[in-house]
Amino acid sequence: MAAGVATWLPFARAAAVGWLPLAKKIMPKPPVDKKSRNDEILFVNVSGLRFQTWKNTLDRYPDTLLGSSEKEFFYNEDTQEYFFDRDPEMFRHILNFYRTGKLHYPRQECIQAFDEELAFYGIVPDIIGDCCMEEYRDRKKENQERLAEDTEAEMATDTPLPPHSTHRERLWRAFENPHTSTMALVFYYVTGFFIAVSVIANVVETVPCRPLKGSKKDLPCGEKYSLAFFCMDTACVLIFTFEYLMRLFAAPSRCKFMRSVMSVIDVVAIMPYYIGLVMPENEDVSGAFVTLRVFRVFRIFKFSRHSQGLRILGYTLKSCASELGFLLFSLTMAIIIFATVMFYAEKGTKGTNFTSIPASFWYTIVTMTTLGYGDMVPNTIAGKIFGSICSLSGVLVIALPVPVIVSNFSRIYHQNQRADKMRAQQKVRLARIRLAKKGTTNAFLQYKEEGGFHIHNHLLHCLEKTTNHEFTDELTFSEMCMTESVGYRTSRSTSISSQQGELTSCCPRRAKRRAIRLANSTASVSRDSVQELDTLQVHKTSAGPQSRSSLNARTEDLKLNCEDRDFTAAIISIPTPPANTPDDSLPPSPAIPGILRNSRTSSYIHETVKISSL
């Protein structure tokens, strides 16, 4: 937990004492503590309720209001406290976040109020702990949906038109919200009436009417009064066509409109008429023509524009598709099984109806749905036994899933949606939390006033000195692996041989590494003991200590950041006894042969460096 890390810093430094006997070099000086680290208690007054807490507690999250210098704006000199004119109950939860590191969502509070408080105090809601996250998300989604519905309903009702709308926009609006103008309402009801008329006409024209004089056969009314029906049909289709064309003209996005369900229904409703017009009165094709007439019944679906309930039903069915599919699948399985069994059971009977397995499907379906028409009955004993099993299982197969589907529908549907969304959002959310955590840890480790960061940095330097190796990042490491053969030449000369590393790609301005060998006359020196100048590269990052931008902070390695514009590089050489020279027992003199300077700096400066740590 980031909060506790600072307080364990003394422990980490104490543990560093264990490295000292092993250290190959002298430890670097620790940074000077500018201020004494006395902790103080802060008073926070939130609408009269006084809270007190350690300053350290608030400093744990420097990119929030209370952790940064932004709280100074709320400082009251007279009462020596920070005054916030906000909800004290909510503040309790906010303060607990600082104390425990976990943000909890209070269930009895309104989600919007909670969000507002979080936004005020600069806390990202993603940090809400897992215990409360689901509840929070549910409430938030609910709230958003409700708000969306409200705004939709609001927009649907009498909002005034924008002043300079074109005829097209007004027409579209009239079509979508018929309540806005009288003309639209009239048109709405007229179309509704004609849909009803058309449907009724379709139905009535098949009813048998009294036959014509002189003939015995009953005629369907459609043929008796064919002209009347034809006129009515024509009128309806004309109106529907007119309506469709108007909608098409007024639609803001024609492609989208043409792809929408309602427009498809419209087209399907009027197409048979035109096809019928075009086709000749031919006996051969009249059969197909009659089939097309069936599609006229789709006009009834045009009612869905007029009825909210139909739309909801359609949406329900569409969203329940997987459950219905499961029902269908299990039914199909059972049907196939029982049809096969019945077929083979009844195969021997003479004159049986079960002529093939597909023929047995009908029997199975009728039996399983407990219809039992009786047009196909088994005659053999085995057939009867299996028939009864079939009808019993039919009861189970059909009666069970249906209520389960109905009740599961909303539960599974919502659950599925939530699970999928959560899975998709999980990665993003985790990444954001990681970033937020890193940001807080980085910034926390910066320790702007107390210099605690510098101590941590110092600790890492000590480790480097102990092992005589330095931290680098992956990039330079791979570079070095590639160029190692070119790198080091060891010579026995006492002169300073300068060598240059081939690290060029990343930071062209990085100071080149030079190797200096101390005078050593006797033994051969392995590569490990080649004395190097330590290149301490400390980069000044762009984010100043006072900023609250740490949430967007890049996580960088200790050393290298090639994108920074200015950096300081100081090169200090520290002598070390060479590795395997048995007779060299003289302690090296702490001579500093030379300090190469970069043109920018002149001394070893501590700058704030971001360390990626969790």
Partner 1 sequence: MGVVFGTFSMHTKQVTFRTDNVDDELEMTMVCHRPEGLEQLEAQTNFTKQELQVLYRGFKNECPSGVVNEETFKHIYAQFFPHGDASTYAHYLFNAFDTRNDGSIKFEDFVMGLSTLLRGTVREKLEWTFHLYDINRDGFINKEEMTEIVRAIYDMMGKYTYPALKGDVPKQHVDVFFEKMDKNKDGVVTLEEFVLACQEDENMMRSMQLFENVM
**Nearest approach, Cβ of 564 to partner 1 (angstroms)?**
19
Q: Which one, of 259, 269, 265, 218, lies nearest residue 239 by Cα?
A: 269
Query: Phi and psi of 266, rounded to 5°?
Result: -60, -45
- Pull the structure tokens for residue 519: 């005078």
Rank residues 10 and 544 by Cβ distance to partner 1 and give the closer one.
Answer: 10
Of the pair 375, 583, the CB lying nearest partner 1 is at: 583
Q: How far is the CB of 482 from partner 1 (least distance, A)?
A: 11
CB of 505 to partner 1, least distance (A): 15
Nearer to partner 1, 132 or 463 (CB): 463
Pick 10 or 208: Cβ nearer partner 1: 10
**Of how many residues is the chain composed?**
614
**Displacement of CA 376 from its chain's centroid (Å):** 56
CB of 338 to partner 1, least distance (A): 20
CB atoms within 10 A of CB 180: 18
3/90 with CB nearer partner 1 = 3
Single-letter code of the amino acid located at 235 = A
Measured from the CB of residue 132, what is the shortest distance to partner 1 in angstroms?
18
CA dihedral (498, 503, 505, 506) positive or negative:
negative
Smallest distance, partner 1 to C-beta of residue 89, A: 25
Contact 590, 574 (CB under 8 A): yes
Place of tokens 């976040």: 97
Taking the C-alpha atoms of residue 556 and residue 537, their distance in angstroms, rounded to an integer, is: 13
Contact 45, 83 (CB under 8 A): yes
Shortest Cβ 352–partner 1 spacing (Å): 34
Which of the 8 DSSP states describes residue 533? E
Q: Produce one character per residue of 26-58: b if its CB has 16 or more CB atoms within 10 Å, e if not.
A: ebbeebeeeeeeeeeebebbbeeeebeeeebbb
What does the DSSP assignment read for 38-51?
Answer: ---EEEEEETTEEE
Least gap, CB of 175 to partner 1 (angstroms) = 30
The smaller minimum CB distance to partner 1, of residues 28 and 125, is found at 28
> For tokens 């009955």, what's the residue?
377
- Residues 254, 182 contacting (CB under 8 angstroms): no
The sign of the CA dihedral 469, 473, 476, 482 is positive
Q: Which is nearer to partner 1, 383 or 578 (CB)?
A: 578
Tokens of 259: 């792809």
Cβ of residue 14: shortest distance to partner 1, in angstroms? Answer: 4
Q: Shortest distance, CB of residue 397 to partner 1, whole angstroms?
A: 15
Contact call for residues 108 and 89 (beta carbons, < 8 A)? no
Amino acid at 584: D
- State which residue, 322 or 552, has the beta carbon closest to partner 1: 322
Pair 611, 586: CB distance under 8 Å: no
* CA pair distance 103, 128, nearest whole angstrom: 5
Contact call for residues 286 and 223 (beta carbons, < 8 A): no
Long-range Cβ contact pairs of 596-603 (< 8 A, separation 24 or more): 596/511, 596/514, 596/533, 596/571, 597/570, 597/571, 598/511, 598/568, 598/569, 598/570, 598/571, 600/566, 600/567, 600/568, 600/569, 601/568, 601/569, 601/570, 603/570
Give dist(CA 513, CA 479) in Å, integer. 14
Of 14 and 431, which has the nearer Cβ to partner 1?
A: 14
Nearer to partner 1, 342 or 611 (CB): 611
- Dump the DSSP string for 131-183: HHHHHHHHHHHHHHHHHHHHHHHHHHS-PPPPTT--HHHHHHHHHH-GGG-HH
CA angle 559, 10, 536 (to 5 degrees): 20
In the complex, the smallest distance separating the C-beta of residue 456 from partner 1, rounded to whole angstroms, is: 7
Cβ–Cβ contacts within 10 Å for residue 569, how many? 21
* Nearest distance, CB of residue 434 and partner 1, angstroms: 13
Query: For residue 103, what is the DSSP state?
Result: B
Complex with partner 1: residue 11 or 73, whichever CB lies closer: 11
**In the bound complex, what is the minimum distance in angstroms from residue 414's beta carbon to partner 1?**
15
Shortest Cβ 501–partner 1 spacing (Å): 9
**Cβ distance to partner 1 smaller for residue 4 or 372:** 4
Contact 543, 575 (CB under 8 A): no
Please, which residue, 205 or 556, has the CB nearer to partner 1? 556
- Cβ distance to partner 1 smaller for residue 7 or 425: 7
d(CA 407, CA 542): 57
User: What is the nearest approach in angstroms of partner 1 to the Cβ of residue 418?
Assistant: 15
Nearer to partner 1, 241 or 472 (CB): 472
